[in-house]
Structure formats: structure tokens, C-alpha cells
Chain A
């Protein structure tokens, strides 16, 4: 089954404790992206990647890191999480070609206390 998976689905952590949210897709998509979704602010792109070893900043990259060592994986790293990073996070992937619709993962709800 074609899908985007994220882990964990739920995470409660404390300020400053490094964490990684994994994202994996099995559709051989070149394009992968991370978003956060907050009430009243909608979906905002954090980072995206056009292919292996190619990453670019989205609209809200501060406080986040990503890597794209393999085509299928695109982990999101929070080196020192803060409470303002409490949010719902989505990973998505698509083909690069023009009409590449994005497939979203199920989301990760992160709470930083």
C-alpha cells in the first residue's frame, strides 16, 4: 500500500530534550516536506527536499533540522525543543513533476512542556 508513515504519532517531551520525528514513504517520490499546523495559522512549511542530499528552508525553519540521506526517509530533528514548537506535524511526499499531488502522513502531535 502506497503510504507516508510518521513516528511517533504522539509525543510529550520537555524543553531542551533532543528529539527526532521520522518520516518514510514507499512511493519513490523525490519531493518530501515537513509542515506544522497550528490553530488560526494553518499549515506552514518547515523544510522541503527535492531529492537526496538537497534540502531547502520553508517558511518556518527556525529551531528545526532535516536530512535526506535516502530517498525514502526525511527525518525532522528538534535539537532543543521549546514550548512554542508544540504543534501538529505532518510529513508529505510527491513527485517533482508539475502536477505532483502531495501525500500526507497521519501526523505527529508534539507537546513540549
Chain B
């Protein structure tokens, strides 16, 4: 079946602009995660959705970052007033995690969106 897809694959924007990054998870996965990966580092957690709601947004670095998942499937990560430090690869993942613990299933990652802020 289809894996996690992300668009665009690359995004170059000027400092101060607004960007939206899209993620389409694996069908049937209610759990969706956003991570950010800087060069030479492991992915860092940003936000976790269970269905339509953000169950954990503790990883968002500041209030310029926001994410939505209005119908419990596709999610959009939104970054306002972009800064050069926001440049990274933004990864989306989905899993069978149901929010009912204690169990943690593997996450399947999309190819990422490489964001470059000039």
C-alpha cells in the first residue's frame, strides 16, 4: 500500500515568510507525528496528533509553529515569520498508536520536506 507522503519535497523561502508543509499518512493510521531533523542530528519530536486533536505539542519550539489535522488524516505544519534557524528537514510519520497505552508501535516516515530559509 501507499506509504507516508509529504509535499513539497523542497521549499526555499525568504526570511519572514509563511510556509505550509503537508503530510498524508498511511491510510488507517490515527497517530501522526511531526519531527525536525537538522544536519548531522537525529530527528527531534515536534507534535503528535491522535485523530484530529494535538495530543502532545510539547516539541514545538515557539508559537511561530502550528499544526492542524482537521479531518484526522492529512496534516499541515505551518511556520510563520520563518527564520534561518528553521532550515531543516521536516519529517512526518504515522503509526497504529491508538492513544490507549501502554504500547508503542513503530512509526513509518515520509521522505521529508527540506526547508531552506534564505
Q: Report whether chain A binds chain B.
A: no
Residues on A close to B: CB < 8 A?
none
